[in-house]
Copies of this chain bind each other. A is one copy, B any other.
Amino acid sequence: MAQTKKDDVRTKIVESARNEFQDHGYAASTIRGIAKRAGISTSNVYVYFESKLELLFAIYDPWLRAQILQLEAQAAEIADPKERLRAIIATLWETFPAADGGFGTIFIEGLAVSGREGQYSRDLLHWAEERLSTLVASCVPQERADQFSDTAFAHILFMAFDGFALNYGLIGPSRRLDRCLDLIVDLIVSDFET
């Protein structure tokens, strides 16, 4: 009966927004800039996305899920549990904040700026913590398995990810991160060494 929403327009908006966010961060990116880069009018963006924040989620959700799945694949190839655990946490605290132009950082920025509606990100966070928890459990010595039977540790890791991502955006790569990784890994699998 009328025009229909076109997948290629939606894709163009998403791609344009991803580039703008990576170039300028969330707050400094404008809907006008995103629309211009996509080759459409400013107001037409709102035909496809309700708000700037929803646009960010549309990019971040699949991005994080892909990152987690990729992390699982990489971890599976590391035989030593201690080494594997270190790689997992290093990915979360070091790689993610810096990856793809600091995208982890940009999402945290967007959440802090626009957010007052937790429900959006809650499902994603739970999913990610569940996967991360399973991953961590595979690195923990048997006698401590019961301590890691729920998602509490993964929750702590993710909360700290928020902090590292924020700091990465404000200051840049942390020089103390290696020491933090050594410490947290030692706290968990030190029994293997002694």
Contact = CB atoms under 8 A, between A and B. Distances in A.
A152 interface: yes
A186 B147 contact: yes
Contacts of A93: 159
B183 A152 contact: yes
A179 B163 contact: no
A167 interface: yes
Total copies of the chain: 2
Interface in A50-88: none
Interface stretch (A13-21, A41-49, A111-119): A111-119
A130 to B, nearest CB: 13
Interface of A: 27, 93, 108-109, 111-118, 121-122, 147, 150-153, 155-156, 158-164, 166-167, 169-172, 174, 176, 179-180, 182-184, 186-188
Contacts of A108: 112, 166
Given A118-B170, A121-B170, A152-B176, 19 more contacts: A109-B112, A109-B113, A111-B112, A111-B166, A118-B167, A118-B171, A118-B172, A147-B187, A151-B176, A153-B180, A153-B183, A155-B174, A155-B180, A156-B183, A158-B163, A161-B163, A162-B163, A162-B167, A163-B163
